[in-house]
Structure 1
Amino acid sequence: MHWPTRIPDRSQSLAVLVGAARYNGSSDDLTPLPQAAANVADLKRVLSGPTGLLEGSSVHTIVDPDDAVSVLTTLSAPGRGKLSLALFYFAGHGILDGEKQLCLALPNSIQDPKEAARTGIPVSAVFQTLKHVPAQHKLVILDCCYSGRALYDMSIGDAHVLAATGRTHKALTSGSERNTGFTGELLRILTEGLPDGPEFLDLHTLFRYLSVLLPTTSCPSDANADRRLPAPRHRMTDTTEGLALARNPAFGTGHSRSGLESRAVFAHRVAELGRTPPAGRLEHLAHAAALFGEIAADALTVLPATDDQALRYRRAHAALTGESGYAARAVAILDEITADLLAVSADCKAERLSIEHWSRRVPDPNTPGF
């Protein structure tokens, strides 16, 4: 069953986007983060642009605030009446106080457990402020280190939280990129859309894709050339996961050549996640196989069975099906491909080698314990 998407009322919504880009050198870890300012500008452009669902006048951007008061006052929305959506976004450094609670670092913050809450914005203060905001939906998006700690804050109330990292992980970014790693991927989805996605990009869909794209996105450092972005975390409340942030620019293009290819790229990322330790799981490979099965079936409705693009998807479906532990099914898929190739006198040597490979892995039903 598909629950209805919830579209915020444009005229009765509030978004407060905060970016801390300039840091005054109180700690070596609190280095300048120019991407935070770009995040705020780009997110406002998307949320209030042609595919966005918010009015530009309802999206407030605050870059390098001097203190917590100006931020929380803007968020409290005095005199606005009942809101459809209250959204708070922060990009910057995350620091911990003496109780290991998350604080959002501001330009003058001091990374000392005794000073973190006084010089930054305790995330609990954000949640406490939101408790007094009359809004049907409350959403907090945090792009900072240790942002996953917000999911366990005692003041969270009925806010839906989307966090860039887990409780103990740092948010990552590349100095050569315009945006931070997490927000960059979020913006890419909102801007480019999902060919096989719904008409509106809701929080459930966004998290589902981010949870694959982020941990399979390279973010190399001098110390670790194979470093990947951390997996995001989220906390759902009631039906807020169905809340949409934008229209899907690629809606209805899933059967086009470009749409099919975009879907295949994502399916390959799912497979990559399944092969990557320690998170690698057979269930991810099975999911990738299922995705390629759908892509191949859709390709065959618009492309010839032996079209190069269609063949790539069909072969990937077979390979991942076998890799998921279903060798006999992989052989059956390859048999179908072979028959189509033979019908047009095409070379099928690769398919025969693959059939031989997976046939050796088909369990013998006469083997005890099968």
Structure 2
Amino acid sequence: MRQSAPRFPDGDASRAVLIGCSDFDDIDLPAIPAVKSNLTDLRSALTDQTHGILPPEHCRVLADPADHRSVGMALAQAAREADDLLLVYYTGHGLLDEDGLLHLALSSTDPGHVGFTGVPADLVKRYLGRARARLRVLVLDCCFSGRAVAAMTESGSLLSAQLEVSGTYTLTSTTATAPSHAPPGQRHSAFTAALLDALNQPEPLTLDDIHQHIDTVLHGMGLPRPQRRSVNAAGDLALVRGPVQPQAGPQTGNEGEIRFRQQPPVPPANRLRDTVLYILMLAVLIATGVLFEGWFATLIAAAGTALFLGLVLLLLLLRRDVHYDLVVNGDGLGTEHGTHSAHMPWKDVEFVGVLRRAPGTVLVPNVLIVRLKADAPRPTGFHKRLNRRLPDQRYVIAGMLGTYGADPMRLRSAIEHFAGGLYRTDQQLLEMDPRLR
């Protein structure tokens, strides 16, 4: 993937402004909960103590700004202070006015009067053009963000002349005519999740490398492809000096595997609570028996009840200690449920992907399904009930992603890292075999 050696900005002479809107006053603009995590985790990556490029005080976050003034003041201050790098990032709704010009939505934006209530993307680019920073980077994660790239390529425009004075780079989540994508229930929008994944690679990626990484991920998911515009070799800039682990990412057991885990061990305090409840229940049963049935019947009932409840309690305590792990590594992928495990080596796998729902069901979302090679042995230990619904014996459902707390995009990234081109999207799986519907 590496296209050129990365260069790193001077953190003391660099500034970043991260802007995001997740909640809106107008009912026609739906909330985007992922925006909050986009801002938090991107700031954490850029200011990471070990591999970040910026001191925390040089990375300003504007979450749900209500008016133009706060945005303008933050951009103006950053433009004045940045000598080396000025990075501006926006995540939220992108809206078009009557002339088709892109505006960035604020909390108070009225979709019917976008030109007066949204922030024109051209205005943001003018701040970039006025900045004295040697490198300027604009990242837009919103619908129709490709309009920013289109405007920058217009020949002879004043904006183009301003931005080509020094290195500039524009990276957008989608094309000039397509919507962006924020999967419901996911921590990040699709674009920013791929961006954070790029920043967590073993070696620092340049902006061109980051664009290529995001393009591969989004295109493979059937989403609009990101756009970029680079001037004067700004594409060799790196945004981190090494891997930074975004929040809520997969747990890594060691350098040779990526582990997704859903359930931590139960705290000892819960064990004590359950034991006390068990003793109290047993005491109540004995007292009831004494009052109504006599000592002999009471002892028999108490012994049977104690045995039954003791076994139930033991099973519950043991079950709460069981981790549900999904493991992806260089050998293959597998699952671990306490002492039980199952494994499929990559050499036996024809392709693998995530179906949005299990075949023949309507209530089982996001299942990891594997197509085995014709001569591969069928593995044991995977979910028996789900596997009964498969069209033939060469398919294996490894499990439901929710069981392992696995984010679909990060799981895909892990599989592609270890297994190359074996991953297939939901759409590709259904086109290849309609029986999976």
TM-score range, shorter chain: 0.5 to 0.7
2:213 maps to a residue whose letter is Y
The C-alpha deviation readout for 1:122-158, integer Å capped at 9, x for no partner, is 0000011111111011000000000001001253524
1:204 corresponds, among 198, 208, 228, to: 208
Q: Counterpart of 2:205 in 1: which secondary structure?
A: strand
Query: Are 1:76 and 1:132, in contact at CA under 8 Å, matched by a contact in 2?
Result: no
Q: Residue 212 of structure 1: CA displacement? A: 0.8
Q: Residue 14 of structure 1: CA displacement? A: 0.5
Q: CA separation in 2, counterparts of 1:210 and 1:234?
A: 11
Aligned to 2:381: none
Aligned to 1:119: 117
Aligned to 1:43: 42
Q: CA separation in 1, counterparts of 2:144 and 2:78?
A: 30
Q: Counterpart of 2:106 in 1: which secondary structure?
A: coil
Q: CA separation in 2, counterparts of 1:153 and 1:257?
A: 44
Query: Are 1:161 and 1:236, in contact at CA under 8 Å, matched by a contact in 2?
Result: yes
Alignment map for 1:213-228 (pairs within 5 Å): 213-217=217-221, 228=222
Aligned to 1:24: 25
Change (3 A) 1:109 1:5: same
Q: Counterpart of 1:107 in 2: which secondary structure?
A: coil
What is the identity percentage for the equivalent residue pairs of Structure 1 and Structure 2? 30
Aligned to 1:187: 196
Q: Residue 161 of structure 1: CA displacement? A: 0.7
Q: CA separation in 2, counterparts of 1:47 and 1:95?
A: 28
In the alignment, is residue 169 of structure 1 matched against residue 168 of structure 2? no
Q: Residue 241 of structure 1: CA displacement? A: 0.6
TM value normalised by structure 2: 0.53
The C-alpha deviation readout for 1:234-261, integer Å capped at 9, x for no partner, is 11111111000012329xxxxx7549x9
Change (3 A) 1:96 1:79: closer
The C-alpha deviation readout for 1:218-242, integer Å capped at 9, x for no partner, is xxxxxxxxxx432111111111110
TM value normalised by structure 1: 0.62
Query: Are 2:23 and 2:107, in contact at CA under 8 Å, matched by a contact in 1?
Result: yes
Q: Counterpart of 1:139 in 2: which secondary structure?
A: strand
Q: CA RMSD in A?
A: 3.2
Q: Which has the larger radius of gyration?
A: 2
Q: Counterpart of 2:197 in 1: which secondary structure?
A: helix
1:139 maps to a residue whose letter is V
Alignment map for 1:84-99 (pairs within 5 Å): 84-99=84-99
Q: Residue 72 of structure 1: CA displacement? A: 2.1
Query: Are 1:76 and 1:130, in contact at CA under 8 Å, matched by a contact in 2?
Result: no
Gaps of 5+ in 1: 218-227, 251-255, 262-294, 297-307, 317-348, 352-370
In the alignment, is residue 105 of structure 1 matched against residue 105 of structure 2? yes
The C-alpha deviation readout for 1:34-63, integer Å capped at 9, x for no partner, is 211221111101110132111111000001
Q: Counterpart of 2:239 in 1: which secondary structure?
A: strand
1:48 maps to a residue whose letter is T
Q: CA separation in 2, counterparts of 1:194 and 1:56?
A: 22
Aligned to 2:33: 34
Gaps of 5+ in 2: 153-158, 245-254, 260-329, 332-343, 352-373, 377-437
Q: CA separation in 1, counterparts of 2:81 and 2:192?
A: 30
Q: Counterpart of 1:57 in 2: which secondary structure?
A: helix
Q: Counterpart of 2:16 in 1: which secondary structure?
A: strand
Going by fraction, where is strand more abundant, 1 or 2?
A: 2
